[in-house]
Amino acid sequence: MTYNDIAAVTGKPGLYKVINPTRTGLILESLDDKKAKMVTGPHQRVSLLAEISIFTTDLDKTIPLEDIFRTIKKEFDDDPGLDSKADKDELFAFLKEIAPDYDPDRVYASDIKKIVSWYSVIYKEVPELLEEKKEEEKKEGKKAAKQDASKATAKKSVAKNTAPKGKTGKGPAGNVKKPTAQRKSGG
């Protein structure tokens, strides 16, 4: 499971695993113990966790939620020291420690409450998402992508070289003109 497979629905508590898309929405399953399924409609706002980020004081930069969660895991492990019911000052102090360059004018206490509650759900239900990506895995992923691209290029060049010459218009069979029947004019 990745952050692209987990969604938050506006107006609904908790996080949901994306099961399947439908014609007008998504089929979701809650990440809690109940595993309740839900179908979203076209009027419900669904956000994937991979698309959510925190504003910073630099207007061109944001911090992905994935990085925020990994920092919380590194700093606090299973207990961030507060819950979603903490007061406003504690929440902002917590985020200042996790992301010192966050923008206090564009990040609200309700956003930090969501981060804290979502972190506890992720830590409990999908802890493998909180592990640090290793540099070797990133390099291996890039190598695999390059190999796939080179294989695709090789297949295309093999396909061009093995195409039947008579059908492509190239080669000796392609240069021969076929006799065409003359049309009779109707008048």
Determine phi and psi for 69, rounding to 5 degrees: -60, -40
Neighbour count for residue 14 (Cβ, 10 Å): 15
CB distance 19 to 27 below 8 Å: yes
Nearest CA to 118 out of 88, 90, 80 is that of 80
pLDDT of amino acid 131:
82
The single-letter DSSP state of residue 56 is B
Domains and CATH numbers, the chain: 3-48 (2.30.30.730), 52-130 (1.10.10.1650)
pLDDT in tens, the chain (187 residues): 899 999 999 988 889 999 998 888 999 999 887 888 999 988 999 999 999 999 999 988 999 999 999 999 888 887 778 877 888 999 999 999 999 999 999 999 999 999 999 998 898 888 888 887 654 444 444 444 444 444 444 444 444 444 455 554 454 555 555 556 666 666 5
pLDDT of amino acid 56:
93
Rg (CA), the chain: 28
pLDDT of amino acid 80:
79
Rounded CA-CA distance 106/144 in Å is: 39
pLDDT of amino acid 64:
93
pLDDT of amino acid 181:
60
pLDDT of amino acid 109:
93
How many angstroms from the chain centroid is the CA of residue 127? 17
What is the SS3 assignment for 25? coil
Determine phi and psi for 47, rounding to 5 degrees: -120, 130
Q: What is the pTM of this model?
A: 0.68
